[in-house]
Chain A
Amino acid sequence: GQQVMQIPQYQHVQEGEDFTTYCNSSTTLSNIQWYKQRPGGHPVFLIQLVKSGEVKKQKRLTFQFGEAKKNSSLHITATQTTDVGTYFCAPRGGNKLTFGTGTQLKVEL
């Protein structure tokens, strides 16, 4: 079955530093979604990537989908305290949406 690895598990940065989380799948994906969960909250949809090599930007967030559609990344430029939370990738393989293990981001002033 599909295996999804997300790294790193934790990331502690100083405000203003950049942050990247990576999602790797053992199988080719139909598409991949990204979600953010604030502490004590529920996952909130950020973006969906569908095409091979696709790059999408949302303000300071940059999302990439690998050429082989087996991996993806989320990069945050100049982190702010509002970026705190856990970021999940959610690849779709076949009919199932599977969540990665998540990367917990902490931002220090």
Chain B
Amino acid sequence: KAGVTQTPRYLIKTRGQQVTLSCSPISGHRSVSWYQQTPGQGLQFLFEYFSETQRNKGNFPGRFSGRQFSNSRSEMNVSTLELGDSALYLCASSPGDPRDEKLFFGSGTQLSVL
């Protein structure tokens, strides 16, 4: 089984621009979660999607949004980029079954905002 795939691997943007990150979960997984990882703040939960619906949301501003498609693939969008948005963005998939909650992470997208 292929793992979680995130694209692109690296991204450089300037302040004020917007960016879209993509995540393809493991086949059969219906839940996709997004996390922001920075050296100072650790792993911060952004949101979780299950069957195309946002199921949980972290404490991030509205500039951060996401969606999930019918094939479970997910995208995350950040608008009006700020320098502080520079981070590793990790996507994780899981079956979405309460009996099997372990997350499988992708390699992440390293975003640099200049």
Chain A residues engaging chain B, CB cutoff 8 angstroms: 31, 33, 35, 41-45, 48, 88, 90, 92, 95-102
Question: Do the beta carbons of A42 and B105 come within 8 Å of each other?
Answer: yes
Contact A99-B55, Cβ < 8 Å, known A48-B101, A92-B101: no
Question: Do the beta carbons of B107 and A42 come within 8 Å of each other?
Answer: yes
Question: Do the beta carbons of A100 and B102 come within 8 Å of each other?
Answer: no
A46 to chain B, nearest CB (A): 9
- Residues of chain A with a CB closer than 8 A to B108's CB: 42
Considering only residues 95-110 of chain B, those with a C-beta below 8 Å from chain A are 101-108
CB nearest neighbor in A for B57: A96
Question: Do the beta carbons of A95 and B56 come within 8 Å of each other?
Answer: yes
**Tally of B interface residues using CB under 8 Å:** 19
B10 to chain A, nearest CB (A): 13
Expressed in whole angstroms, the Cα–Cα distance for A40 and B19 within the complex equals 23
Question: Do the beta carbons of A45 and B45 come within 8 Å of each other?
Answer: no
Question: Do the beta carbons of A97 and B101 come within 8 Å of each other?
Answer: yes
Main secondary structure of the interface of A (DSSP, over half): strand
Binary A-proximity of B72-114 (CB < 8 A = 1, otherwise 0)? 0000000000000000001010000000011111111000000
Question: Do the beta carbons of A43 and B105 come within 8 Å of each other?
Answer: yes
Most buried by B among A41, A42, A88, A97: A42
- Residues of chain B with a CB closer than 8 A to A48's CB: 101-102
CB nearest neighbor in A for B44: A99
Question: Do the beta carbons of B42 and A99 come within 8 Å of each other?
Answer: yes
- Residues of chain B with a CB closer than 8 A to A102's CB: 42-43
Question: Do the beta carbons of A96 and B105 come within 8 Å of each other?
Answer: no
Expressed in whole angstroms, the Cα–Cα distance for A44 and B108 within the complex equals 13
B71 to chain A, nearest CB (A): 22
Question: Do the beta carbons of A33 and B105 come within 8 Å of each other?
Answer: no
Question: Do the beta carbons of B101 and A99 come within 8 Å of each other?
Answer: no
Contact A33-B42, Cβ < 8 Å, known A42-B106, A42-B108, A96-B56: no
User: Does any Cβ of A come within 8 Å of B33's Cβ?
Assistant: yes
Expressed in whole angstroms, the Cα–Cα distance for A41 and B44 within the complex equals 17
